[in-house]
A and B are shown apart, each in its own frame.
Chain A
Amino acid sequence: MPLYHNDDQAMLKDSVAPFVAEQAPVSHLRKLRDSADATGFSRDLWAQFTEMGLPGMLVPEAHGGLGMGHMEAGIVLEEIGRNLTPSPFLATSVGAVAALAKAGGTQAGRWLPAIASGEAIVALAIDEGAKHRPDRIAATATRSGNGFRLDGKKSFVLHGHVADMSIVAAKTDGGITLFAVPKNAKGMTADPRRLVDSSLASHVTLDGVEVDADAVIGEVDAGGEILDALLAATRTGAAAEMVGVGQGAMDMTVTYLKERKQFGKLIGEFQGLQHRAAHLYGEMEVARATVMKAQQLLDEGSEGARLMVSVAKAKAGRAANLAVREGVQMHGGIGMTDEYDIGLYMKRDRALAEFMGDVHYHIDQVARMNGY
C-alpha cells in the first residue's frame, strides 16, 4: 500500500472536511464553552455525524458498521483536530470499538451496533493518576456471587459523566480484565472537571460496583491484549487529531505572516520567521507521514504497529506542540488574547498530548521496544 490516501480515502476526506468545517468550526467550540455546556459536546452534531455513518466507521459490517480502517478514521480525526471539534469520536468510535471488536462476544454484540447507530457514547476508564501508566493499574475486580465487584479510582475519563457505558480496566487474580460498566451502575460516580481546552473529563470512583459475569469484555485475566488494542487505536487516533491541531495552527500562522505588517513590511518577508515556518512545515510533514504509517500497520495487523504507534504519538506530539507554540509567538500580542483562535489550538494540543501517554512516555516505550 502506498503511503498516501487512495481515491476512496480522498473522497472520504472531500466529504468530511467541508462537513466538519461548516458544522463545527472553532466557533462551535466557543459556543459550547461560553454557555458552560454540561455535556462536553453537541448531541445535535453527533446526530449529524451519525447520518454520515461516522460513529460506526471502524465497527465491523456484521455489527452494523462500515468496517473501515484506522487510515479512514484518521481522516475524520484530522478534521476534528483542525476545527477543534468537541466530540466523543476518539474514545467511542476508535478506542472503544477497537477493544470491543478485538474481544468479540456478548459485549461486542451488545455495544458495537449501538455505537454504529449513534445511540451509545462509551468512556475509557484506564488512567488512575495524573500520568498515563497503564502497566500500574490498581483498581481491582474481585469475584462476587455470579459476577465481580469493582473498587478503585479512575481519572482523565473523557465523557465519563455522560457515557452510556464505561470500559473499566481492573486487576484480577491472573492479570488485567476489562469490564463494560453501564451508566448509573450502583457505586460508580463520575465527577466531571472542565479541562484547559474546555472539554470535560471525569474522576470516576468505583465503590463496590457489582457487575454480572457477562460484563467481562473478552476473557477474565486476558484483558491485556484487548487493552493493547484499545491503547494502540486511541494513541494513533490522538496522534491523527494532533496532526489536525498542528496543521490548523500552522495554517492560521502562515496566513497571518502574509497579512500582518510591521516595520513597513509583511512579517512573512523576514527570514527569521520564514525559516521557523519552513522548519515547522518539515516537522509537520514528517509527523503526518508517521501517523499514516502507524495507521497502515494497524490496518494490516502488522507486528511493527506497536513501535510505530509510539513513534507516531511522540512525533505528532512534538510537531503539534511546535506548531501551537510558534503559532502563539508569531501572532504576537494578539496570540495571547482569548478572542483570537490560536490560543485555543494551544489548549487542545496540551490535552491531546497528555491523553494516552505523553511524548516522554512514548519515547521511553520506543527505547524499551528497541532493547535499551
Chain B
Amino acid sequence: MSDLDAFRAEVRGWLEANCPAEMREPIREEGDVCWGGRNWVFKNDAQKAWLEACVAKGYTVPDWPKPYGGAGLTPEETKILKQEMKRINARSPLDSFGIWMLGPALLQFGTEEQKVQYLNPIARGEIRWCQGYSEPGSGSDLVSLQTFGEDKGDHWVVNGSKIWTSYADKADWIFCLVRTDKTNKYQGITFMLFDMESPGVTTKPILLISGNSPFCETFFDDVEVPKTQYIGEINRGWDVAKYLLGHEREMISGGGAGGDMVSIGGAFAKAFGKNAAGELDDPILRAEMAAFDVDVFAYRAMGERFMDMWKTGRAHPASSNMMKYVGTELNKRRHELVMSGGGSEALEWDSEETKGGARARGWLRTKANSIEGGTSEVMLNVIAKRILDLPGA
C-alpha cells in the first residue's frame, strides 16, 4: 500500500468516527453554513462537534502548516481529504473569508508573528472576517479609493466608508484597503486589519433585489488602528490586494458563487416530463439546456486544466480572470434556465414548497456574480491587456 493509499484509509476511518450524520446532509439554508466568530451560535451540537473535531485535526485548513492551525498536508493529501469528504457528502466544517482570502495573503506577506497571531484563530473559527475593498463610487476601480488613514506616529486615524462589505454586520475583524499617501495613486494604499468593535466603526445592511442583505455599507469615523496591524509594506497594500483577489476569483469561479457545475437537463426532464421519444417535453428548452450542459462539461475540463496548471506554475497569472469571467457568465446562464424550467413555481417568493422562493432568490443573487470580485468587463480588460497584449486605450 502506498503512503497515499494509507493516508486515504486513515482519513476514511477518521471521517467515519468524527463526522456526525447531520453533517452529511446537503446545505439547505443559510443557517446550515458554519461561519464561526465571537458571537457564533451553533445550529446544533453536530455542527459544533464537527467543527471542533476538524480544528483538533487541523482539517479546517488542511494544507496550512501545523504551527498556524493547519494539518500540514501536501497537495496530494489535501486532494484526498477533499475527495473523501465529498464522498460522504460532508459539509464544510467552517466557511470563512479568513480561510479563503486573508489566510493565503497572510501566508504570503505576513511576518512570522502575524501568522501565529492571526492564522490560528482563523483556523479555529474564532474570528469572523470581512473584506473592506470597494467604496461608494469606486466599484471595480480600487485604486481610486478614498478612505484615508492619517499618520499619527504609532497609529493611523482612519476616516471614510466602504460598500459591499459582505457580512460586515456579523464580522469581528476587517481586512481593509486604506489610502495612506494621497500623492501616489498606486503606491499609496496600505492593507490594514482592525477590530470591528473599534470605536467609530458602524455598519448598515443593504437590501438587495433577492430580498436578502448579505452586504453592508461600513463607515469609519476616526477609527484608531495601531501601526502593528498592517500586512506587507506600508503604501504597498496593492500587492497584497492583488494577490488576494486572485484567490477570490478562484473561489467565485470555482466552487463558490460558480455553483456546482453539474448537468441540469436530466433533473428538469424528471421534473416536468418527457415526450414519447424520451426527450424533454419542450424541444427548444431541451436544446438550450443541452447546449448549456455542453458548456458545463467543457468548463469542468477547463477548471481541471486550470488547477493543474496553476498548481505547477504553468498558468498565465491573469488566467484566473478568464476563469472568473467564463464561470460567472455560465452560472448566470444556469439560473436563467432554472427559472425557465421551473415555470410559474419558480416565481413563488415565499411559499413553503419553494423553500422561501429559493430559485427566484438564487437567480437574482447570481446577477451579482459578474459584478462582485471585479466585473466581467474588468475581467475582459485584464485578459485583453495582460494575456492578449492589446494596446492600452
CB neighbours of A281 from chain B (8 A):
322, 383, 387-388
Q: B295 and A315: CB pair below 8 A?
A: yes
A15 at interface by CB-CB < 8 Å: no
A11 at interface by CB-CB < 8 Å: no
Which of B19-27, B174-182, B211-219, B301-309 is the interface stretch?
Answer: B301-309
A4 at interface by CB-CB < 8 Å: yes
Given A366-B293, A367-B290: A275 touches B298 (CB 8 Å cut-off): no
| Contact with B294, one of A257, A274, A277, A311 (Cβ below 8 angstroms) | A311
B287 at interface by CB-CB < 8 Å: yes
Q: B304 and A278: CB pair below 8 A?
A: no
CB neighbours of A270 from chain B (8 A):
393
Which of A53-61, A193-201, A286-294, A332-340 is the interface stretch?
Answer: A286-294
CB within 8 Å of B: which A334-369 residues: 360, 362-364, 366-367
CB-based nearest B residue for A254: B388
How far is A254 from B289 in the complex, measured between Cα atoms in Å? 32
* Binary interface encoding of chain A residues 273-309 relative to chain B, with 1 for a CB under 8 A from any of its CBs, else 0: 0110111011101111110110000000000000110
A269 at interface by CB-CB < 8 Å: yes
CB neighbours of B265 from chain A (8 A):
367, 370, 372
Q: A275 and B377: CB pair below 8 A?
A: yes
CB neighbours of B392 from chain A (8 A):
269
B314 at interface by CB-CB < 8 Å: yes
| Contact with B293, one of A274, A287, A290, A370 (Cβ below 8 angstroms) | A370
How near does chain A come to B78, taking the closest CB pair, in angstroms?
16
| Contact with A372, one of B274, B299, B306, B312 (Cβ below 8 angstroms) | B274
Q: B266 and A290: CB pair below 8 A?
A: no
How far is A93 from B278 in the complex, measured between Cα atoms in Å? 37
B286 at interface by CB-CB < 8 Å: yes
Number of residues of chain A lying within 8 A (CB) of chain B: 44
| Contact with B390, one of A3, A257, A285 (Cβ below 8 angstroms) | A257
How far is A204 from B359 in the complex, measured between Cα atoms in Å? 54
| Contact with A315, one of B298, B379, B381, B384 (Cβ below 8 angstroms) | B298
CB neighbours of B387 from chain A (8 A):
278, 281
Given A311-B298, A366-B294, A372-B265: A4 touches B314 (CB 8 Å cut-off): yes
How far is A152 from B269 in the complex, measured between Cα atoms in Å? 39
Given A289-B301, A315-B298: A367 touches B384 (CB 8 Å cut-off): no
CB within 8 Å of A: which B361-393 residues: 377, 379-381, 383-385, 387-393
B9 at interface by CB-CB < 8 Å: no
Given A254-B390, A274-B384, A372-B280: A289 touches B266 (CB 8 Å cut-off): no
In terms of DSSP, what is the predominant structure of the interface of chain B?
helix
B187 at interface by CB-CB < 8 Å: no
Q: B290 and A363: CB pair below 8 A?
A: yes
| Contact with A268, one of B305, B383, B391 (Cβ below 8 angstroms) | B391
Q: A285 and B322: CB pair below 8 A?
A: yes
How far is A258 from B385 in the complex, measured between Cα atoms in Å? 11
* Binary interface encoding of chain B residues 274-292 relative to chain A, with 1 for a CB under 8 A from any of its CBs, else 0: 1000111000001101110
A174 at interface by CB-CB < 8 Å: no
How far is A279 from B268 in the complex, measured between Cα atoms in Å? 29
How far is A80 from B299 in the complex, measured between Cα atoms in Å? 25
Given A289-B304, A372-B265: A4 touches B309 (CB 8 Å cut-off): yes
CB neighbours of A318 from chain B (8 A):
294
A36 at interface by CB-CB < 8 Å: no
A145 at interface by CB-CB < 8 Å: no
How near does chain A come to B386, taking the closest CB pair, in angstroms?
10
How near does chain B come to A77, taking the closest CB pair, in angstroms?
18
How far is A266 from B389 in the complex, measured between Cα atoms in Å? 13
CB neighbours of A312 from chain B (8 A):
298
Given A269-B392, A285-B322, A366-B290: A371 touches B266 (CB 8 Å cut-off): yes
Q: A363 and B380: CB pair below 8 A?
A: no
CB-based nearest A residue for B316: A285
* Binary interface encoding of chain B residues 304-326 relative to chain A, with 1 for a CB under 8 A from any of its CBs, else 0: 11101100101000010010011
How far is A75 from B104 in the complex, measured between Cα atoms in Å? 36
Q: B391 and A258: CB pair below 8 A?
A: yes
CB-based nearest B residue for A293: B301
B297 at interface by CB-CB < 8 Å: yes
CB neighbours of B263 from chain A (8 A):
370
Q: B298 and A287: CB pair below 8 A?
A: yes
How near does chain B come to A120, taking the closest CB pair, in angstroms?
34
Most buried by B among A288, A367, A371: A367
How near does chain A come to B29, taking the closest CB pair, in angstroms?
29
How near does chain B come to A300, taking the closest CB pair, in angstroms?
14
CB within 8 Å of A: which B232-288 residues: 263, 265-266, 268-269, 274, 278-280, 286-287
Q: A286 and B390: CB pair below 8 A?
A: no
CB neighbours of B266 from chain A (8 A):
370-372
A314 at interface by CB-CB < 8 Å: yes
- 17 more contacts with CB within 8 A, not counting A271-B381, A271-B393, are A254-B390, A258-B389, A277-B390, A281-B387, A282-B325, A286-B298, A287-B298, A290-B298, A315-B295, A315-B298, A363-B287, A363-B291, A367-B279, A370-B266, A372-B269, A372-B286, A372-B290
4 nearest A-B residue pairs (beta carbon): A372-B269, A367-B290, A293-B301, A274-B384
> Which residues on A are within 8 Å of B, measured CB to CB?
2-4, 254, 257-258, 266, 268-271, 274-275, 277-279, 281-283, 285-290, 292-293, 307-308, 310-312, 314-315, 318, 360, 362-364, 366-367, 370-372
Residue contacts A-B, CB under 8 angstroms, 17 given:
A2-B312, A3-B305, A4-B309, A274-B384, A279-B380, A281-B322, A281-B388, A282-B326, A290-B298, A293-B301, A314-B294, A362-B294, A366-B293, A370-B263, A371-B266, A372-B274, A372-B286
